[in-house]
Amino acid sequence: MFETYYPILFLILFAVFLALVMAGASILIGKRTRLGKKGNPYECGIDPVGTTRDPVPVKFFLIAISFILFDIEVIFLLPWAVVARDLGMFGFVSILIFVTLVMIGYFYELGRGALKWD
């Protein structure tokens, strides 16, 4: 068990180490100056107008919720793909019922314009 997972563990640690070295490098090497309005958010040279705390439109929330649901659909299709041959047509019919149920939801969303962008 450890033989299989050790390389992944080491890879994670190595990647994090690399990331920290990179993030640290410019802090150590790069010069630092603090002049005037350098700390302002980027705005093409003029003073920033308005707030950066615009609320996110509801449709992004709907996208996120649709993503969860259809992602779970993918997650349930995965085990079916693994055992599809063992289950045969019975498995196909049951997954077909499942997919149909979820796709009814998808078409409902389409019909109500929840996935519409313009």
Residues between 30 and 69 that touch another protein (CB under 8 A): 30-33, 38-45, 48-50, 52-69
CB atoms within 10 A of CB 58: 9
- The letter for the amino acid at 79 is P
Q: How far apart are CA 9 and CA 3, in angstroms?
A: 10
What's the min distance (Å) between Cβ of 52 and another protein? 5
What's the min distance (Å) between Cβ of 23 and another protein? 6
- Is residue 22 close enough to count as binding another protein by CB under 8 A? yes
What's the min distance (Å) between Cβ of 9 and another protein? 8
Report how many residues bind another protein under the rule CB under 8 A. Answer: 101
In the region spanning residues 72 to 91, those forming contacts with another protein, defined by CB under 8 A, are 72-89, 91
What's the min distance (Å) between Cβ of 1 and another protein? 5
37: tokens are: 């309005």
Contact 105, 69 (CB under 8 A): yes
Contact 114, 65 (CB under 8 A): no
Contact 35, 61 (CB under 8 A): no
In the region spanning residues 98 to 117, those forming contacts with another protein, defined by CB under 8 A, are 98-99, 101-106, 108-110, 112-117
